[in-house]
Structure 1
Amino acid sequence: MTSRTTPEQRLTDLARLRRVRDRIDREYAQPLDVEALARGVHMSAGHLSRQFRLAYGESPYGYLMTRRIERAMALLRRGDLSVTEVCFAVGCASLGTFSSRFTELVGVPPSVYRRQAADEAAGIPSCLAKQVTRPIRNREARSRPPQLA
C-alpha cells in the first residue's frame, strides 16, 4: 500500500488482510505461521507482515498470540483445566512462551490469573467478564486489576 498502489489494489490487499485476520480468529488453536498465512492469500510473508501491521497495528504473530491469550483467559476462568492443558488447548507448543506472553498481556502469570479469576468473576455473566478481562494490545499490561463497580 505504497504511494504507487492503485485504489483497487489497496482494496484487494485490505480484503486479503481481512481474510488472514478471519483465519487467525477461526484457527487460532492450529499451528499457524506467517509463511502459511501469506501463501493462503498469495502474498509474500514480508509484505503480509508489513501490511498487516499497517492495517491492524500489530504483526500477524502478535494478533495470533492475543487471540490465544483471550481464549486462554476464558478457559482459565472456567477453572476445570490446568495451565498446561490450557496452553496446549489454545495452540501454544511451549508452556514457557505461553506463560511469558500471558504475563506480558494480562499482567499476571496464568496460574495467578486462574486463582484470581475464580474470586473476581463469581456471579458475573460470562459475556461481561469477557469484556472486563480482555487483554490489552500494543500497550503495557495494567498495573492493577480492573474495577468492577
Structure 2
Amino acid sequence: MAGTSEDRVRANREMLRIRDRLDRDYADPLDIATLARQAAMSPDHLIRTFAATFGETPHRYLQRRRVERAMFLLRTTDLPVTEVCLRVGYDSLGAFSQLFSSVVGVSPSAYRADDANHPPDGPHNSFVKRWTRPSTHTHPSISRKRAPGGDA
C-alpha cells in the first residue's frame, strides 16, 4: 500500500472500524458500497485494504463470523437450525447449510449432534483448516452493489 505513514495509519484505523462494524452487525445485510462510503474509499480499494490489513476480504471475514456464531448457537442453545440460520444473517437455509458444511466439515445438525467434535473450548478441528483455503463462496447479504437508501 503506497502512501505516507500517516495515510497507512488512517487506513488501518478505517479498517478497524469496518471490522468492528462487521463484528457488531454480522447478522444484518451489509454491502461493500456502504462499507466503502463509511471508510471514504472506493469498494475495490476497501476490499484490497481490508485484505492487506487482516489477511482476508470483508466477505470472507463476515462469513467466518457468521459460521463462528452459528457454531456457538448450535452448541449452547436448542434453537432449530432454521432459527440459527436466520439469527446469523442468512435467509436461505440451503445456502447456510452448504456454507456451514463446507467450512466445518459436517452439516449444522450433525455438528450439534456430535459433541465429541466440538468441545466448548475450541472450534471443530476442520474449521481452522478449511478457512485457510481460498473462498469460492458468494453470499447475497454482502455484495458489491449499492445499498438502497443510505447506510445498511
Q: How would you bin the TM-score normalised by the shorter chain?
A: 0.7 to 0.9
Q: Match of 2:122, SS?
A: helix
Runs of 4+ more than 4 Å apart:
none
The reply to whether residue 131 of structure 1 matches residue 122 of structure 2 is yes
Give aligned-pair identity as a percent.
47
**Cα RMSD (Å):** 1.9
Q: For 1:82-101, what aligned pairs fall within 5 Å after superposition?
A: 82-101=80-99
| Cα 1:82–1:104 shift into 2, 3 Å | same
**Cα deviation per residue 1:13-58 (whole Å; 9 max; x = unaligned)?**
0110011001111111111111111111111111100111111111
Determine the C-alpha separation between the residues in 2 that align with 1:49 and 1:13: 12
Equivalences, count: 131
Look up the match of 2:103: 105
Which residue of 29, 37, 40 corresponds with 1:39?
37
Give unmatched runs, 5+ long, in structure 1.
Answer: 141-149
TM-score, length-scaled by structure 1: 0.79
| Cα 1:72–1:94 shift into 2, 3 Å | same
TM-score, length-scaled by structure 2: 0.78
**Cα deviation per residue 1:105-140 (whole Å; 9 max; x = unaligned)?**
2111111101113x666xx6xxxx143448322238
